[in-house]
Amino acid sequence: MANITDVAKKAGVSIATVSRVINGNTNVRENTKQTVLKAISDLNFTPNINAQGLQKKITKTIGLIFPDASSYYFAEIIRGISSRLRKEGYHIIVASSHDEEDEVNTLISLLKSGRVDGMILMMPSIQNVNVFKDSLVHTPVVYLSTGINTSQSTTVVLDNYQAAKDITEHLIWHGHKRIAFIHGAPRNFDSMERYNGYVDTMKNHNFEVSKTLESHGNFTEASGFKSAMELLNQKVRPTAIFAANDAMAIGTIEAAKRLSLKIPDNIAVVGFDDISTAQYIDPALTTVKVPVYKVGQIVGRSLFNQLTDGKKNIIEEKIVIPLKVLIRKSCGCSYEDDKFL
Amino acid sequence: MANITDVAKKAGVSIATVSRVINGNTNVRENTKQTVLKAISDLNFTPNINAQGLQKKITKTIGLIFPDASSYYFAEIIRGISSRLRKEGYHIIVASSHDEEDEVNTLISLLKSGRVDGMILMMPSIQNVNVFKDSLVHTPVVYLSTGINTSQSTTVVLDNYQAAKDITEHLIWHGHKRIAFIHGAPRNFDSMERYNGYVDTMKNHNFEVSKTLESHGNFTEASGFKSAMELLNQKVRPTAIFAANDAMAIGTIEAAKRLSLKIPDNIAVVGFDDISTAQYIDPALTTVKVPVYKVGQIVGRSLFNQLTDGKKNIIEEKIVIPLKVLIRKSCGCSYEDDKFL
DNA sequence: TATTCGAATGTAAACGTTTTCAAAAATATA
DNA sequence: TATATTTTTGAAAACGTTTACATTCGAATA
């Protein structure tokens, strides 16, 4: 494989000149530039990334740590991030893992070995965040859906709170007073915020908020099914259930069917995310749309800004993504969704 | 950040010795080894990956190119690959893109710039595969779900053909003769193999195989809905539909409901993949289980083998993953699936 | 034509490792 | 104890770039 010296020889110039044209330096005569470009193309030369990284101390690579639970929208997120960062020449290293310690280690090693220029952290489970903060003070990083308050870095969060309020208000508008909430995974930031939106809205209306109206799942359909069963088997049933995500809402619908309850007449159900199944399930699920691809792009752009601004003047920034409620039928609306025809 | 020279100074040895310790070279006296180790830990030193890569010509990184369509199981695949490769110290660079040319470019640049030691290619759409082959002769690579026949490399494929035969046979066992097939994305290898299994089985039984029993989708629920509508609106309807994946099968179920057809009585439906929704949809979907995580691990192991064996003696190898039919209700079986309770 | 000055180019050092080869130290052998 | 052998260590080159600095070139000015 050709290296810069081969190119220099072929073009009859020094390697410095070759380097200059590679890096778009203006101080090269048009004439020689063309000669070099020709040599590069003739020899099918690509600069060695390790040598470049060694010199420039950048790798044009960013790290992305993602948690187990997020799998369903992960590909979309990546695509969003990648679409934004690709055009700047960045690549993405991903790391997933089943246990937190492993994640921490991966992160640290990625950082310390100089493998990445920046990081995107999807760590919805707040717990370990402080372990990271120390390692990250001098690294461009954006946190996604994390409750962390960081100086020196950017956080991108969904407007879970407002959207949860909106969708709860909608249920109340339908006349519901006994509205139950199914939590997602323990300590999950998104789930907690959605819960806060729900609770505050209930309180604003002086409606009951109690443990009997809450149940704890872990974002899976199965857990939603189980949680819903608990809620629905009480002597006094809720008339509506707000699940912290769509998968659990779908589990809830399944549970209601098992108990021969009509949706939305006997029990209304709403979710969060707008996964693709939401519109196909019967009845179509009223939920909150999370624009995953777009979130990815925003995260990508935000990281790129930090990368180019340099670590010295990173601005603490919190980007809040607004969310919209998607009215379908499971809440009681009769709006006919003509999705296909 | 400390470098190898700092460590050497602190330990009172030469950088060569430090390097030996780092790389587990045996020819270091236990005594000095401990001193060096102490210095490394005191200074919190991690070898610079670019310098290592420049010298050793390996990066401990592998590239993973994935197509748009595969998004739903992508996170699981990554997790599988990563779980296998992580323990060998490898990282994963991912690249997705919306158009094929972009993919090719990414691939080539990843390879040529020395950023990756090997590649995993998920390129279910056969088309462009030959473009790659040339660039890849000297690179460890494993193809996933690709129809390509390569010397010098490994291919991991699902046993689509056999599983499609099995599930078609099952429909026939239920008494169906007019069985329709909904294709996935054009030129998609998995879809084509599934079709072949279907067609051969039909022919074996001397059942009709014709264009009126085929429709073309693109793996999405919406396309399944549309394709099913076409099939079901014919004067003579099929009595069963085999969709090339679950998403389209779910679209098919939706379509049948729209037309007030009972499943499985008026029309049986089967899919492929076993996505999580398959068991929740009503009726629960009979399908073929694709063990995605396991596939990821197999792919990871296979690439690792190539990586360690060195490129000289790579064995052409084709790994076929056996698949099992999952009987639920949409085929007409009355087996009661007690998934939760 | 000689002089000055800016632009274009080249030389060589630097980035942080690994590794070859030689030297030194430790150990075994006589 | 002297010598041969093996093990451990160090010096220096190499990997392929970028870049500070020095040099050369060409054009513009006098």
Domain positions in chain A are 4-47, 60-159+292-322, 160-290
User: What mean pLDDT comes out for the span A22-45?
Assistant: 92
A295 touches strand D (CB under 7 A): no
Chain B residue with Cα closest to A89: B106
Interface test with B, best of A74, A91, A135, A139 (most B CBs within 10 A): A91
| Separation between the CA of A25 and the C1’ of D29 (whole angstroms) | 29
Position A341 scores a pLDDT of 39
How would residue B341 be classed by pLDDT, with cut points 50, 70 and 90? very low
Asked whether the predicted pLDDT for residue A263 surpasses 80, the reply is yes
Helices (H), ranges, chain B: 4-11, 15-22, 30-43, 49-56, 71-86, 100-112, 129-136, 160-173, 189-204, 221-232, 246-258, 292-309
Cβ contact B106–A96 (<8 Å) = no
Distance CA A328, CA A181 (A): 19
Distance CA A84, CA A142 (A): 14
Chain B residue with Cα closest to A135: B44
Residue among A88, A123, A124, A147 at smallest CA distance from A308: A88
| Separation between the CA of B52 and the C1’ of C18 (whole angstroms) | 7
Cβ contact B75–A70 (<8 Å) = yes
Position A335 scores a pLDDT of 53
H or E stretch covering A336: none
Contacts of A232-238 spanning 24+ positions with Cβ under 8 A: A232/A256, A232/A259, A232/A261, A232/A267, A233/A259, A236/A178, A236/A212, A237/A178, A237/A267, A238/A178, A238/A179, A238/A180, A238/A213, A238/A267
Rounded to the nearest angstrom, the minimum Cα separation between A72 and chain B is: 7
| Separation between the CA of A27 and the C1’ of C1 (whole angstroms) | 29
B59 touches strand D (CB under 7 A): no
Cβ contact B91–A95 (<8 Å) = yes
How many Å is the maximal CA-CA distance in chain A? 89
Is B111:B119 a contact under the CB 8 Å cutoff? Answer: yes
- pLDDT of B82-115, one tens digit each? 889 988 889 999 887 666 666 667 777 787 788 8
Asked whether the predicted pLDDT for residue A337 surpasses 50, the reply is no
Class of domain A160-290: alpha beta
**Helix, strand, coil share of chain B (percent; to 5):** 45, 15, 35
Option in B91, B102, B257 nearest A282 (CB): B257
A55 touches strand C (CB under 7 A): yes
How would residue B257 be classed by pLDDT, with cut points 50, 70 and 90? confident
Range with the poorest average pLDDT among A210-214, A256-260, B3-7, B135-139: B135-139
- pLDDT of B53-83, one tens digit each? 999 998 889 999 887 666 677 888 888 998 8
Rounded to the nearest angstrom, the minimum Cα separation between B229 and chain A is: 10
Q: Residue B139 gets which letter from DSSP? A: S
Nucleotides of D under 7 A from a protein CB: 7-12, 14-20
A-chain residues near B79 (CB < 8 A): 68, 71, 96
How would residue B339 be classed by pLDDT, with cut points 50, 70 and 90? very low
Is B109:A90 a contact under the CB 8 Å cutoff? Answer: no
Reduce the secondary structure of A286-312 to three states and give it as a string. Answer: EEEECCHHHHHHHHHHHHHHHHHHCCC
* CATH numeric code, B59-159+292-321: 3.40.50.2300
B45 touches strand C (CB under 7 A): yes
B37 touches strand D (CB under 7 A): no
User: Mean pLDDT, chain B, as a whole number?
Assistant: 88
Position B112 scores a pLDDT of 79
Choice between B228 and B121, residue whose per-residue pLDDT is larger: B228
B31 touches strand D (CB under 7 A): yes
Position A338 scores a pLDDT of 44
Handedness of CA A107, A112, A116, A118 (dihedral sign): positive
* CATH numeric code, A4-47: 1.10.260.40
Rounded to the nearest angstrom, the minimum Cα separation between A223 and chain B is: 9
Position A8 scores a pLDDT of 95
Choice between A335 and B153, residue whose per-residue pLDDT is larger: B153
How would residue A339 be classed by pLDDT, with cut points 50, 70 and 90? very low
User: What mean pLDDT comes out for the span B24-43?
Assistant: 93
User: Mean pLDDT, chain A, as a whole number?
Assistant: 87
User: What mean pLDDT comes out for the span A144-171?
Assistant: 88
- pLDDT of A305-322, one tens digit each? 888 876 556 667 889 999
Choice between B125 and B274, residue whose per-residue pLDDT is larger: B274
Position B254 scores a pLDDT of 84
Choice between A110 and A136, residue whose per-residue pLDDT is larger: A110
Cβ contact B247–A276 (<8 Å) = yes
Which CATH architecture fits A60-159+292-322? 3-Layer(aba) Sandwich (3.40)
- Nearest nucleotide to A55 by CA–C1' distance? C15
Position B335 scores a pLDDT of 53
User: What mean pLDDT comes out for the span A191-215?
Assistant: 97
- Nearest nucleotide to B17 by CA–C1' distance? D9
User: What mean pLDDT comes out for the span A147-157?
Assistant: 76
A-chain residues near B53 (CB < 8 A): 49-50, 53
3-state secondary structure of B123: coil
Position B207 scores a pLDDT of 97
Asked whether the predicted pLDDT for residue A274 surpasses 70, the reply is yes
Option in A78, A82, A113 nearest B48 (CB): A113
